[in-house]
């Protein structure tokens, strides 16, 4: 019920045909009611008023539509400074509009007050009506923004949960476990120190995925450590067929990144490319104060099904978190993805 109410209120300042009809009818009714009450109050004070209802009601509707249009233009094209003074600008614009209309429509505006009761009262009530409209539109915009922000946060959490679940599934699928346990078995037989380190990397991966479960952003330093453990497991399995290079500036370590983002890019490179001694796969991770870039050479496997869901998920998460976009580039020899650091 609350969601429906918010959607209805938000729709009142849109330009959909149904919204325009509802808005015009609502403002027309409110304007007519205000004029009727004004006339009754004046009659009680023995002041005879003959208010042109249709003219004033149309005026109210026009003023409302101009406010909606101004609000739309400020929201879409205004700078942050202009948006900050939105209400003041709208009130100022409406005062100018009132004065222009008063002088243009009522040539007798400068005559004595007693002879122009209707004109003066109409200006007063128009001012009150405009303040009401401006505040109402601003309130609707606040409600709409809050609702949209809540929806974006919910969408972000859903995307995050989905990608974390998929990452966890990928790590525990039988094929992945079989490969790593086979490597571990060989290491136990021939190099116990390496076996211990392999188990440490293996547990670090699972621990990290569980730790970032409820986090939207993680320190880049933590994500980098996680990815190094992930790469170490594959390096042990693939040997000379796989290598990784790191060029990370110190300033990048204090930044933040979406969790599991780097791991997905590394996993995609391993999934879609051949990694053998004769055709080695090399991944480079380069980071500065603004971005982290993951690039790999192309040794495409012949047939690998891909939904590109992981990369799309990363792009969607960044759209909600940063004005900086994820950059994806493919050349004849390289595949490059650049993620903003926040």
pLDDT at 172: 47
- Answer yes or no: are the C-beta atoms of 236 and 187 closer than 8 Å: yes
- Residue 341: pLDDT above 70? yes
- Answer yes or no: are the C-beta atoms of 318 and 340 closer than 8 Å: yes
Q: How far is CA 2 from CA 7, 143, 265, in A?
A: 9, 12, 40
Burial category of 44 from C-beta neighbours within 10 Å (exposed 0-12, middle 13-18, buried 19 and up): exposed
- Residue 315: pLDDT above 60? yes
Other residues' Cβ atoms within 10 Å of the Cβ of residue 79: 8
- Residue 113: pLDDT above 50? no
**Structure token digits, residue 315:** 């792009």
Q: Which long-range contacts (CB under 8 A, 24 or more apart) does 323-329 make?
A: 324/290, 324/291
- Answer yes or no: are the C-beta atoms of 202 and 167 closer than 8 Å: no
Mean pLDDT for 296-310 is 74
Question: What are the residue ranges of CATH 3.30.565.10 in the chain?
Answer: 173-340
Give pLDDT tens digits for 6-46. 556 556 666 677 777 777 777 777 777 776 766 666 555 54
Please give the share of the chain, as a percent, with pLDDT higher than 70. Answer: 62
Q: How far is CA 266 from CA 117, 204, 235, 244, 246, in A?
A: 77, 17, 12, 10, 13
- Positive or negative, the CA dihedral 316, 322, 328, 334 is negative
Mean pLDDT for 80-108 is 67
pLDDT at 30: 73
Confidence bin at 223 (pLDDT 50/70/90): very high
Q: What is the rounded CA–CA span in Å between residue 180 and residue 189?
A: 14
Q: What is the rounded CA–CA span in Å between residue 283 and residue 231?
A: 10
pLDDT at 104: 55
Mean pLDDT for 256-272 is 89
- Answer yes or no: are the C-beta atoms of 297 and 276 closer than 8 Å: no
Highest CATH level, class, for 173-340? alpha beta
Give pLDDT tens digits for 228-251. 988 988 888 888 899 999 999 999
State the Cα torsion 81-87-88-89 to the nearest 10°: 70
DSSP tag of 204: H
Confidence bin at 122 (pLDDT 50/70/90): low
pLDDT at 42: 58
Residues in contact with 320: Cβ distance below 8 Å, sequence separation at least 6, in sequence order = 152, 153, 155, 156
Give pLDDT tens digits for 266-300. 988 988 899 888 899 999 999 999 999 999 999 88
- Strand, coil or helix: 292: strand
């Amino acid at each position: 019920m609350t969601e429906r109410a918010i959607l209805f209120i938000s729709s009142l300042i849109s330009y959909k045909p149904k919204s325009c009809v509802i808005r015009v009818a609502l403002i027309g009714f409110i304007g007519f009611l205000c004029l009727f009450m004004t006339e009754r109050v004046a009659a009680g004070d023995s002041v005879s008023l003959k208010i042109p209802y249709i003219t004033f009601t149309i005026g109210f509707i026009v003023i409302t539509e101009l406010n909606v249009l101004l609000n739309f233009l400020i929201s879409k094209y205004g700078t942050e400074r202009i948006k900050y003074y939105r209400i003041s600008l709208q009130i100022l614009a409406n005062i100018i509009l009132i004065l222009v209309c008063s002088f243009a429509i009522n040539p007798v505006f400068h005559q004595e007050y007693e002879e122009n009761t209707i004109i003066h009262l109409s200006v007063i009530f128009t001012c009150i009506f405009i303040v009401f409209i401006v505040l109402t539109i601003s309130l609707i915009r606040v409600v709409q923004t809050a609702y949209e922000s809540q929806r974006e946060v919910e969408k972000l959490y859903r995307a995050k949960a989905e990608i974390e679940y998929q990452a966890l599934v990928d790590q525990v699928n039988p094929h992945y476990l079989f490969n790593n346990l086979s490597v571990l078995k060989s290491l136990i037989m021939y190099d116990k120190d390496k076996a211990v380190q392999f188990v440490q990397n293996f547990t670090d991966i699972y621990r990290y995925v569980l730790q970032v479960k409820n986090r939207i952003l993680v320190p880049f330093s933590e994500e980098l450590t996680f990815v190094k453990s992930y790469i170490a497991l594959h390096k042990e399995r693939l040997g000379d067929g796989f290598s990784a290079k790191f060029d990370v500036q110190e300033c990048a370590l204090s930044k933040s990144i979406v969790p599991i983002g780097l791991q997905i890019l590394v996993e995609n490179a391993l999934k879609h490319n051949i990694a053998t001694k004769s055709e080695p796969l090399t991944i480079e991770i380069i980071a500065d104060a603004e971005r982290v870039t993951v690039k790999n050479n192309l040794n495409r496997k012949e047939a690998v099904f891909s939904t590109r869901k992981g990369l799309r998920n990363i792009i969607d998460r960044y759209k909600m978190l940063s004005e900086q976009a994820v950059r994806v580039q493919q050349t004849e020899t390289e595949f490059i993805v650049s993620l903003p650091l926040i």
